[in-house]
Amino acid sequence: MNDILLQVKDLKQYYPVTTKEQGKTFVRALDGVTFDVKRGETLGIVGESGCGKSTMGLTICKLIEPTDGQIVLDGEDITKYGRKQMREIRKKIQMVFQDPYASLNPRMSVYDIVAEPLVIHKLFQSKEDIDARVIELLRQVGLDAYHAKRYPHEFSGGQRQRIGIARALAVEPQVIIADEPVSALDVSIQSQVLNLMCDLREQYGLTYLFISHDLSVVEHISDTVGVMYLGSFVEMADKKSLYDNPVHPYTQALLSAVPKPDPRERKEKIILSGNIPSPVNVPKGCKFHPRCKYCTDICKEAVPERTQISDSHYVYCHRAKEFAK
Ligand code: SF4
């Protein structure tokens, strides 16, 4: 069995726009991302809002068609698959969204929400079998059988996210793309939902693509972490290397802002100058150069190549070797 479950190669998502300054041009929401995810692994994707991480989730799930690049799931190239072929593939790849309330139909009961994928994919023939599976799924996410008759508005945010997870689990997917699944929840509820996701990963051997702007949340759940900036990865590493030895100046700045309860672990906060440039007007050379205090002439001209720091750690920065400990 292939160890790699999901392969993404040079994936692009460009939207045509017209601006006063440039005329017809493109928003480069996703600008050539490449990565592999191993079976059973959790890849955390972090970055500020607008960096392209949510677009990446939607594009991999083919809820929006990619402009270019390739998506290979379990050895099958699904890049050009149409709606009919994707219906089969959706049994393998599911999404959990940030806002559980918006992603659950308020007019459907919890039973109907969780049963819907079972019916669409004809996974069970009899009503009794569907009933039993719905109850089983609700129990697996920490809800009770009587919840099936209720409607989304009768639940708390955490419970609604549990319903969203039960719906995603219904088809027994291999991969779940979770886009900011706990961002809308209180901190105490966040850890309950994260722990549930960890338990389900163990139980079902799930593979997660976990998208979040919150580095503490990503650290909790991920094996590998990729940092995105303006539609591309700037650094990817196993969790320990990334959090202990961040190399890219952008990763260093993001990590310096994470609150640490232990004062000995606290680092001086790195304040980045300026804001993320518009994806319509992507800076030449290293996209991060207008905000980087280490910028040199080459950074303004040439796009950095991938620099390997170790087997499981790579960085896109001209000065990566200097910055690596
Ligand atoms: Fe900074 Fe240059 Fe590295 Fe970009 S390539 S992060 S500008 S040092």
pLDDT tens track for 93-116: 999 998 877 889 999 999 999 999
pLDDT one-digit tens code per residue, 120-148:
999 998 999 999 999 999 999 999 999 99
Question: Is the pLDDT confidence value at 223 over 80?
Answer: yes
Both 47 and 192 in a single domain? yes
- Domain membership of residue 313 (yes or no) is yes
- For 144, the token pair is 């009770």
Distance CA 193, CA 244 (A): 26
CATH code for the domain of 144? 3.40.50.300
Give, for ligand 1, the residue of 297, 299, 301 to mutate: max count of ligand atoms closer than 8 Å to Cβ: 299
Residue 1 banded pLDDT, cuts 50, 70, 90: low
- Domain membership of residue 8 (yes or no) is no
DSSP string, 1-31: --SEEEEEEEEEEEEEEEETTTEEEEEEEEE
Mean pLDDT over all residues of the chain?
94
Both 108 and 253 in a single domain? no
Both 183 and 63 in a single domain? yes
Helix 157-169, helix 127-140: angle, nearest 10: 130
Question: Is the pLDDT confidence value at 15 over 90?
Answer: yes
Residue nearest atom 7 in ligand 1 by C-alpha distance: 289
92 vs 275, which has greater pLDDT? Answer: 92
Both 140 and 208 in a single domain? yes
φ, ψ dihedrals at 245, nearest 5°: -140, 65
Supply angle C-alpha 274, 243, 283, rounded to 5: 30
Domain of residue 190, residue span: 40-69+78-222
- Domain membership of residue 88 (yes or no) is yes
Residue 2 banded pLDDT, cuts 50, 70, 90: low
In short, whether 227's Cβ falls inside 6 Å of ligand 1 is no
- Domain membership of residue 230 (yes or no) is no
Question: Distances in Å between the alpha carbon of 124 and those of 85, 90, 117, 120, 162?
Answer: 20, 17, 10, 10, 22
Question: Is the pLDDT confidence value at 263 over 80?
Answer: no
Q: How many domains does the chain have?
A: 2
φ, ψ dihedrals at 6, nearest 5°: -130, 125
Both 149 and 267 in a single domain? no
Both 193 and 323 in a single domain? no
Q: Which of 156, 187, 222 is the last residue of a domain?
A: 222
- Using an 8 Å Cβ cutoff, are 127 and 160 in contact? no
Distance CA 195, CA 183 (A): 15
Both 189 and 297 in a single domain? no
DSSP string, 119-184: HHTT--SSHHHHHHHHHHHHHHTT--GGGGGS-GGGS-HHHHHHHHHHHHHTT--SEEEEESTTTT
Q: Which of 222, 257, 284 is the last residue of a domain?
A: 222
Cβ neighbours of residue 163 under 8 Å, at least 6 residues apart?
100, 104, 110, 113, 114, 141, 143, 152, 155
Question: Is the pLDDT confidence value at 86 over 80?
Answer: yes
What is the predicted pLDDT for the residue at 161? 95
Distance CA 89, CA 239 (A): 29
- Domain membership of residue 22 (yes or no) is no
In short, whether 288's Cβ falls inside 6 Å of ligand 1 is yes
262 vs 104, which has greater pLDDT? Answer: 104
H or E element that contains 309: strand 306-310
Both 302 and 192 in a single domain? no
Both 92 and 208 in a single domain? yes
Both 126 and 90 in a single domain? yes
Both 197 and 270 in a single domain? no
φ, ψ dihedrals at 90, nearest 5°: -65, -15
Distance CA 207, CA 318 (A): 32
In short, whether 286's Cβ falls inside 6 Å of ligand 1 is yes
In short, whether 304's Cβ falls inside 6 Å of ligand 1 is yes
- Domain membership of residue 142 (yes or no) is yes
Nearest CA to 32 among 282, 289, 293? 282
- Range 158-179 average pLDDT: 96
Question: Is the pLDDT confidence value at 227 over 90?
Answer: yes
Both 65 and 155 in a single domain? yes
- Range 207-224 average pLDDT: 96
